Chains A and B, each alone.
Chain A
């Protein structure tokens, strides 16, 4: 879509943003533009510009009676018991850790040690669309945040970044995630929210997420 030589080259990106917002692109170009929004802040800003310019057209979508689907939506967002954090934490730990836990239990029974530091705050971040689940545990005495990731890693040239959001809504980066388990250092308080965003390689160039936020969750005691 960059073959129209009669156009100012500076316009190419902005027009691509317009074409993306309008839905003019075919499936492949659409997909490429969508991925670019996630990792290219300048392009995302151009997309936002067109969304704002064309937003008055939303008035042409009439309101229609909506069926009550709240129960289904809440069931997807807030899965019922067993408490998601604990169940997820064990499931996400994997077989190796499970064996280690059994061994630890044997050792514990034989020689009761000082209790190892366990997460005092946990959260489960789920992006159902991607099939990504992150189990986040906060260990305050070690100023550590441990993340267990299951699901696909980001496409080449991008990375998952973990954020803490304070009660005032201000985000701060905790760091970038690796495949499997990642240990980050940071202090996270009760009442804060954690979020994961998709960012360009190296992480967000801004002090806030620039890519899409894939999931957020409130930290809770296990």
Chain B
């Protein structure tokens, strides 16, 4: 289940693994995939329910540690950031709108945003910073998680299909940006192309992705 695949592999290379998971007999009923426990917890947080904060921590902290470790490449900073993220979740829970997306997506967006904030602050202080984990990070199939609903699996397959339609190096670059917070400048250096070329590539790739995903 935790079969490792290198980040540098395009997403379609993990397609088989994911398909395998998706066709496994799913224990939950279809109706349970409509349940968004995280959204319910966020709604309780917005009413200042402190018990809900503890439950949310148990449910979401492992995912957020994984996310923050990937993006910040530093355990101490990831743990520091984890505290900041939970403070933000408490303070902003009232702005979560379940009509606009799932609870876990909202939480991950806040955590990614916080990590990007830290990365940008770090990079503006130390202008040059190489990513020591650049070639180490592996994309592994997370297996069924709190959010591994049938709906999510279907969305996942759409994303894999749409990334598969892109030139592989551009698909990789978009993934590296999302998963590791790499900027245009870092990606241009890594792929040895001028920054403007990288920007033009990725903007075209993003337009294709949007067309494919909105189809």
A-B contacts, 25 of them at CB < 8 A, read A7-B203, A15-B207, A22-B178, A23-B178, A24-B177, A25-B184, A26-B184, A26-B185, A30-B120, A34-B113, A34-B117, A54-B178, A58-B63, A60-B142, A62-B142, A64-B66, A65-B62, A66-B57, A66-B82, A70-B53, A72-B83, A73-B53, A77-B53, A167-B47, A216-B92
B67 proximal to A (CB < 8 A): yes
Stretch at the interface among A90-98, A104-112, A139-147, A206-214: A206-214
* Cβ 8 A contact of A213, one of B94, B119, B200, B209: B94
Please measure, in the bound complex, the distance between the C-alpha atom of A27 and the C-alpha atom of B54, giving whole angstroms: 34
| Chain B contact surface mostly | helix
Q: Are the C-beta atoms of B94 and A171 separated by less than 8 Å? A: yes
Residues of chain B within 8 A (CB-CB) of A14 are 210
- With CB as the reference atom, state the residue of chain A lying closest to B209: A53
Q: Is the CB of A76 within 8 A of B87?
A: yes
The size of the chain B interface, using a CB distance under 8 A, is 77
Q: Is A80 an interface residue (CB 8 A)?
A: no
A63, B94: Cβ atoms closer than 8 Å: no
Residues on the A chain within 8 Å of B175, using CB: 57, 60
Is A18 at the interface (CB under 8 A from chain B)?
A: yes
Q: Tell me whether A61 and B70 are in contact (CB under 8 A).
A: yes
Is A79 located at the chain interface by the 8 A CB criterion?
Answer: no
> Do most interface residues of chain A lie in helix, strand or loop, or is the interface mixed?
mixed
Residue in contact with A216 in the complex, picked from B62, B91, B139, CB distance below 8 Å:
B91
User: B residues within 8 Å of A by Cβ?
Assistant: 2, 43, 46-48, 50, 53-54, 57, 61-67, 69-70, 79, 82-83, 86-87, 90-95, 100-102, 104-105, 108-109, 112-113, 116-117, 119-121, 123-124, 139-140, 142, 145, 147-148, 152, 155-156, 158-159, 174-175, 177-179, 181-185, 187, 199-200, 202-203, 206-207, 209-210, 213-214
> What residues of chain B lie closer than 8 Å to A173, measured between beta carbons?
none
Quick check: is A55 within 8 A (CB to CB) of the other chain? yes
Residue B63 contacts which of A31, A63, A72, A218 (CB distance < 8 angstroms)? A63
Give the residues in chain B near A169, CB-CB below 8 Å. 43, 46-47, 94
Contacting pair A56 B156 (CB below 8 A): yes
CB distance from A222 to the nearest CB of B (A): 17
Q: How far is the CA of A67 from the CA of B48 in the complex (A)?
A: 23
Q: Is the Cβ of A74 less than 8 Å from the Cβ of B65?
A: no
Q: Is the CB of A74 within 8 A of B91?
A: no
Q: Smallest CB–CB gap between B65 and chain A, Å?
A: 5
Q: Is A51 a contact partner of B210 (Cβ separation < 8 A)?
A: no
Docked complex Cα distance between A13 and B200 (Å)? 15
Contact mask for chain A residues 122-135; partner B; CB cutoff 8 A; 1 contact, 0 none: 00000110000000
CA distance A22 to B91 in the complex (A): 24
| A27 and B142 contact, CB distance less than 8 A | no
